[in-house]
Every structure is written in structure tokens, then in C-alpha cells.
Amino acid sequence: GIQVEQSPPDLILQEGANSTLRCNFSDSVNNLQWFHQNPWGQLINLFYIPSGTKQNGRLSATTVATERYSLLYISSSQTTDSGVYFCARGVTGGGNKLTFGTGTQLKVEL
């Protein structure tokens, strides 16, 4: 079955809008990370968040490990937020391997 499922697959926003990206995962996790892959292909760490809530500027993330999901919030979106957002999880007892979701393709328009 699908181990890491992200939604929505695609999202178009007007600049200034807010959005929520979701990541559902199977199995208990020892690692949950959110990445932004920019148009140049670089994977940028956003959050390491196996549980709880974190905030960094306009971005915040929440992971509810007991219910096996994580959310990424983007507020006041900007065109530079465009790209693909990946959720990746490592499982308890699974060594140190990350399994990636298929990503959410975000485009922020003026």
C-alpha cells in the first residue's frame, strides 16, 4: 500500500493566499521531514517534525503521530514559494531510510 500520501497533488494560489498541504503516512515514524524542491531542483529542508508543531516565518508544520498525518501551512504565499513540497518519513525499526511522498506541486501567481 501507499506508505506516504500527499494531497493535493497540485495547487495554484494567488499571491497572499494561505494554504494547507497534507501528508498521511502508514506505520509509526521516527522521522518526518518536509522539503521544498525549488525550480532549480534543490531540496531545501523546511521542517524536521516527527511530532508536535513548529513555525518558521510564514511556514508552520504540525505532525500528529498517533493519527499518522502531518500538515504544512503556508501563509501569505509569495511567488518564491512555488515548487514541489515533499513529505518524507522514516519508520521506527526501519533503520534510517526516508520514504518520500509524491509531492504537492505549488504555483503561486501574481
- Under rule CB under 8 A, residue 83 binds another protein: no
Residue 106 is placed in which grid cell?
Answer: 505549488
Peptide bond into 50 cis (omega under 30): no
Q: Which of 50, 42, 32, 28 is nearest to 101 (CA)?
A: 32
Name which of residues 34 to 73 contact another protein (CB under 8 A): 35, 41-43, 45, 48, 50
The span of 11-19, 56-64, 72-80, 85-93 binding another protein (CB under 8 A) equals 85-93
Residues that bind another protein (CB under 8 A): 30-31, 33, 35, 41-43, 45, 48, 50, 86, 88, 90, 92, 95-100, 102-103
